[in-house]
Amino acid sequence: MSSDDTVLVINSGSSSIKFQVIEPDSGVARQSGLVERIGEPEGRVVLHHDGEVLEEVGRIEDHRSGLRKAAELMASVGHPLPESGIIAVGHRIVHGGSEFYEPTLVDDRVLKEISTLSDLAPLHNPANVVGIEVARDTLPDVPQVAVFDTAFFHTLPMPAATYAIDRDVAREFGIRRYGFHGTSHQYVSERAAKVLGRGTDEIDQIVLHLGNGASASAIAKGRAVDTTMGFTPLEGLVMGTRGGDIDPGVLLHLSRTAGMTVDDIDALLNRRSGLWGLSGVNDFRALTERISAGDQDAQLAYDVYVHRLRKYIGAYLIELGGVDAITFTAGVGENAASVRRDALADLEMFGIVIDDDRNENGQGERRISADSSSVAVLVVPTNEELAIARDAARLVRS
């Protein structure tokens, strides 16, 4: 074990690969980057290194050539991957099903099972599998570790994990609530406890991960007891292009009366709903600009977003019987002060009071509640890559 050890963390999506070379012990990201628009005419590789940003534009045929280009760019700044002290490659894997709930060394069997789980996460797991295959080819002697987005929610109590449908059907097809964004919820809840100077096992908390995807979790003494995403990452909060909760009867109706196919409905739910569906934009900054310009659709999208958020905050306050902390994280949660203000407005009677100045100013991990607030309201930037790097390092060193 050496403090020079690094972990290459890979988050492989359908048309992009995010990567970081991280020192798991210090938390320093030595390099980070992105390969995007894979398979499109104009691809892009970006590398952040020593405060500089290098960029290469051109067609990137597939994930394999994307990772190779990234490796070449790293070599060109004097840090070839084979000489970067990489002790493991950590992969973010979206769906671990019921089987995987610990960081897991990838061998052929594990890879095959992750691939089989693609039925449960068709948007994500296939791309994750490609990421592992490409990393294995690029660094054949380095152990590959899978870290599952569902793992933290493995502890959901049965009443929270169970859909009230025919139990035989549920059993046969693995229908239950799995939860996602687990790495972020776990990391942020641990940091939140640190900010408060308490142990995770001493506090009850709500974590609000509000990014392009969004989810909330209820965490009792370090154990996840509920979360908004369920069988797939479609359930729960309003997101960039996903609408979250919907009456399943709507889908039956669209199938029967609008003649929509399963694929049409899939596209509607995954890509044409949420903020985008309501307003035509999925980026929160663009949404905010439209609201300022008086766009009523954008305003309604925002109001639906906040309404759903408040509904779940209320639900989790009751489930947990009160909380010590509510923490905002991810792109919207870390940056959009208006969402934090509106999500927790008028909750003085529950001991929740935001300090406007703290909410609107400041950076990084911080408390934004007023001194009079008995519930601590925090902002904690998420760092899923660091959490994955630490999980991977722990596993290969053990």
Three-state secondary structure of 4-70: CCEEEEEEECCCCEEEEEECCCCCCEEEEEEEECCCCCCEEEEEEECCEEEEEEECCCCHHHHHHHH
Asked if 216 touches ligand AMP (CB under 6 A), the answer is no
Asked if 211 touches ligand AMP (CB under 6 A), the answer is yes
Asked if 220 touches ligand AMP (CB under 6 A), the answer is no
Asked if 240 touches ligand AMP (CB under 6 A), the answer is yes
Nearest alpha-carbon partner for 134 in 6, 45, 17, 7: 17
Out of 5, 119, 141, 149, which one is annotated catalytic? Answer: 149
Asked if 212 touches ligand AMP (CB under 6 A), the answer is yes
Asked if 305 touches ligand AMP (CB under 6 A), the answer is no
Closest chain position to ligand AMP (CB): 331
Q: Which two tokens stand for residue 205?
A: 């908390």
Site string for ligand AMP, 159-198 (x = CB under 6 A): ----------------------------------------
Asked if 335 touches ligand AMP (CB under 6 A), the answer is yes
Nearest alpha-carbon partner for 377 in 349, 354, 358: 354
Asked if 283 touches ligand AMP (CB under 6 A), the answer is yes
Q: How far is the CB of 284 from ligand AMP (least distance, A)?
A: 4
Q: Which two tokens stand for residue 219?
A: 């965490």
List the end-to-end C-alpha distance of the chain, in Å, as a whole number.
10
Nearer to ligand AMP, 125 or 215 (CB): 215
Residue 354 DSSP code: B
Residue 213 DSSP code: S
Residue 110's H or E segment, with its range, is helix 108-116
Residue 236 DSSP code: S
* Given 73, 120, 298, 332, the residue binding ligand AMP (CB under 6 A): 332
* Given 13, 43, 230, 331, the residue binding ligand AMP (CB under 6 A): 331
Cβ pair 203, 191 in contact under 8 A: no
Nearer to ligand AMP, 230 or 240 (CB): 240
Active site residue 108: no
Residues forming the site for ligand AMP (CB under 6 A) = 211-212, 240, 283-285, 330-332, 335-336
Active site residues: 149
